[in-house]
Structure 1
């Protein structure tokens, strides 16, 4: 009796496993979804999504002096001075991933306290 129930359980398990694996193979790709994903990739390639490091947010005079100080210490890094009323922002770098930005932030924070990573 125990052998029969074990064999039945085993056969039932195999049948359920086969049907379950066949159910996952019935995925159909929608051409519209594929086209939309390709459009998004092209958009990101040209317009970019990424991160910058913001060094300062405040007065114009201090923002400009901080930007020039940063350019002296890190000559090859892109810097941008942004004005959004009523504050000036100093943003540096163009990073594709958050990980890249965080790595640079660790180096930059040694000289510039209060720097943060912001998305574009």
Structure 2
């Protein structure tokens, strides 16, 4: 009986030592060689996302047509709302006034309800598509 206890104790010690050695072998220093252009690319990506140029979400279109009228609509929008960013986008042959960068359709719908009080022809779209978003 005593031999069995000693045997079990030796096995337990053996496994304990092997586990501890594996855990301590996993510590170390990791050196990452990063291309110096990566921070510049990240800054560019942030800038494009801020300007609604790199999004997979939804936006609201207030107007499309001439540049003069687009500037007028944009100024009118900015006088009434500051909650969502707005910009003028050019797609041949029209200038478009786009508002917001919404990650979900629900978020865009909520904004549209408020915006349509002053811009009744506004509608939701997904940038990159040439028609109104139906879903």
Please report how far the alpha carbon of residue 49 of structure 1 lies from its aligned counterpart in structure 2 after TM superposition: 1.5
Q: Determine whether 1:50 maps to 2:57.
A: yes
1:71 to 78, 88, 104: 78
Unaligned runs of 5+ in 2: 1-48, 128-135
Secondary structure of residue in 1 paired with 2:95: strand
The alignment's TM-score, normalised by the length of structure 2, stands at 0.52
Task: Please give the per-residue CA displacement for 1:61-93, whole angstroms capped at 9, x wherever unaligned.
Answer: 111010011011112321110111110000000
Distance 2:120 2:63 in 1: 9
Runs of 4+ in 1 over 3 A off after TM superposition: none
Q: Determine whether 1:93 maps to 2:100.
A: yes
Given that residues 55 and 101 in structure 2 are in contact (C-alpha distance below 8 angstroms), is that contact kept between their aligned partners in structure 1?
Answer: no
Unaligned runs of 5+ in 1: 1-45
| Structure with the higher helix share, 1 or 2 | 1
Q: CA RMSD in A?
A: 1.4
Aligned to 2:6: none
Distance 1:64 1:90 in 2: 8
Q: How many residues align?
A: 75
Task: Please give the per-residue CA displacement for 1:26-70, whole angstroms capped at 9, x wherever unaligned.
Answer: xxxxxxxxxxxxxxxxxxxx8541000000011111110100110
Distance 1:83 1:48 in 2: 17
Q: Determine whether 1:84 maps to 2:91.
A: yes
Who wins on radius of gyration, i.e. which is larger? Answer: 2
Larger RCO of the pair (alpha carbons < 8 Å, separation 6+): 1
